[in-house]
Homo-oligomer: A and B are copies of this chain.
Amino acid sequence: MNIPSKHIENAVDQIASLPGIGRKTALRLVLQLMNRSKSEIEEFSNAFLMMKEHVLKCTSCGNISETEMCEICKNERRDHSIICVVEDIRDVLAIEGTQSYKGIYHVLNGIISPMDGIGPSDLNIESLIERVQNIDVNELIFALSATMEGDTTSFYLYKKMKGYDVEFSSLSRGVAIGSELQYADDITLSRSIVNRQPFQY
């Protein structure tokens, strides 16, 4: 596709640099932007500049924040002795959405994935170890993806910190609520039988 304008080409390249967006989709989006007024485009562009200028990462947990320390870490009514270890900021938003967790977080900003060239040194692991050493932490919850990479990361963190006086837990695995048994995969079903829980009524 030969775009007859360098400025359009440049805008398409920028949109296509976002993950999961190809050049055809990018062109569609850019042409839609072209139809907007100048002030709307300024609003669009300014949103990202303002974001970069004002949004920081919490120096303690790595969550997004507009202050040096995020609202969750600053909140004294939360239980600072439990740290939930997550891969991504979106996981914090998802768990916060459930309103069933009152501890604090630690965002790794990725998981160990040799296939993608991501090793332990690329993640916020040192700062997690520092927190466990310096603060009175009772429990670390590994809330990582139920994949090989997630399990590898949990195991790596466990090995790094098993010497400290802290308990380790991970999210329960099993049949998702609302799903039919016959469609559950073998591994999930077998795990949910082995790890069966006392009946609650």
Q: What is A's interface to B at a CB cutoff of 8 Å?
A: 1-8, 10-11, 13-14, 17-21, 25, 27-34, 36, 38, 41-55, 63-66, 70-72, 88-90, 93-94, 96-97
Contact = CB atoms under 8 A, between A and B. Distances in A.
Contacts of A71: 4
Kindly report how many copies of this chain are found in the complex they form together: 2
Question: Residue among A27, A53, A55 with the most chain B CB within 10 A?
Answer: A55
Contacts of A51: 5, 7-8, 10-11, 30, 33-34, 41
Contacts of A65: 4-5
A157 to B, nearest CB: 22
- Which 4 pairs between the two chains have the least Cβ-Cβ distance? A45-B45, A14-B47, A41-B52, A7-B51
